[in-house]
Amino acid sequence: MMTDAEARAALRNAELIRSATEVQAAVARVAQEIDAVLNGACPLVLSVMDGAIVFTGQLLPLLSFPLDLGYVHVSRYGDERQGGALRWKVEPDERVQGRTVLVVDDVLDEGETLAAIKARVLDRGATACYCAVFAEKMTGRPKAARADFVGMELPDRFVFGFGMDLNGAWRNLPEVYAV
């Protein structure tokens, strides 16, 4: 965890790569795309903690259909910048059985976490599993999973803001920055 002074210094030295206006436009577009596909399905929406909390919170009010909300908590990063072993803190529960599920995550990087979540949801009996991510990093490498709905593309850099953190700080920014 960074101190207040360290976090502020990091933000001053970071590069703004997506404005708050661009972020909000991406969220609105993704909501419309999800509405077109899942309207009438009454899906279970699973937000991936902690990163997707901001995206989920801004996405849900834009959806025009009834839904059930839950969460999963799995991480490959912790406080690191490189992905490691997958660690489940909260797994999909019995509500996925026989349901259409929408997994909402912050960023699709290598796709390992999203692939594991989707596999677990389907193994637990979901009839369909869709994935929405706020951002997809353009790594140029094959990914273990793909998202059905993508808010925006980002460069293959360490990014933070709009739910994504920098050593525990700045999830609350309305924009996206890179270091």
Kindly state the tokens that stand for 88: 């489940």
**pLDDT of 81:** 52
How is the chain split into domains, by residue range? 4-77+84-170
pLDDT tens, position by position, for the chain (179 residues)?
899 999 999 999 999 999 999 999 999 999 999 999 999 999 999 999 999 999 999 999 999 999 999 999 987 655 555 556 788 889 888 999 999 999 999 999 999 999 999 999 999 999 999 999 999 999 999 999 999 999 999 999 999 999 999 999 999 999 999 99
User: Is the pTM higher than 0.75?
Assistant: yes
- Determine the Cα–Cα distance for residues 176 and 163; give it in Å rounded to an integer: 9
For domain 4-77+84-170, which CATH number applies: 3.40.50.2300, 3.30.465.10, 1.10.645.10, 3.40.50.2020?
Answer: 3.40.50.2020
